[in-house]
C-alpha cells in the first residue's frame, strides 16, 4: 500500500524494509482520519493476497507480482468546479510482458511505444 498526501508519502513496504514499521501505522492513521481527508491525493494497493518475502519498496514488490494481479490506485482531483475521484487499475509487470512484449526494452525495465 502507498499513500500520497500533502504533508507525507507512505510506502508501507519501504517503511517495513527499512525498519521504520513502528511509526507507519500512526502516520497512516492520522492521514486517514476524517479531518485530514482533503490532504490525501492518492492511495495505491494490490488486489490479491500478499506475496511473502522481503522487498525494499513498492516498485520492487510490483516487479514480482504474478500475472493476473491488478494494482489499484484511487486518486482525488480538486477541480475548481467540483471534486472528482478516479480509480485506476494497472497491469502487473508480468501481465505487461505477456500482453505487450513488443514494447519491452532492456528486459522490460523500460517500456516504449514504437
pLDDT (tens place) for every residue of the chain, 114 residues total: 788 887 778 888 888 777 777 778 788 888 888 888 778 888 888 887 778 877 888 888 888 888 888 889 988 876 666 777 888 888 888 888 888 888 888 877 777 875
Query: pTM of the entire structure?
Result: 0.70
Pull the grid cell for residue 22.
Answer: 513502528
Residue pair 24/16 in contact by the 8 Å Cβ criterion: yes
Nearest to 93 by CA among 101, 83, 84: 101
Pull the grid cell for residue 7.
Answer: 504533508
Amino acid at each position: 500500500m502507498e499513500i500520497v498526501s500533502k504533508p507525507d508519502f507512505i510506502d508501507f513496504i519501504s517503511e517495513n524494509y527499512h525498519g521504520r514499521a513502528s511509526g507507519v501505522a500512526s502516520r497512516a492513521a492520522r492521514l486517514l482520519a476524517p479531518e485530514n481527508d482533503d490532504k490525501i491525493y492518492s492511495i495505491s494497493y494490490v488486489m490479491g493476497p500478499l506475496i511473502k518475502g522481503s522487498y525494499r519498496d513498492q516498485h520492487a514488490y510490483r516487479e514480482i507480482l504474478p500475472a493476473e494481479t491488478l494494482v489499484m490506485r484511487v486518486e482525488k482531483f480538486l477541480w475548481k468546479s467540483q471534486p472528482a475521484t478516479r480509480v485506476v487499475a494497472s497491469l502487473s509487470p508480468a501481465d505487461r510482458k505477456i500482453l505487450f512484449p513488443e514494447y519491452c526494452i532492456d528486459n522490460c525495465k523500460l517500456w516504449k511505444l514504437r
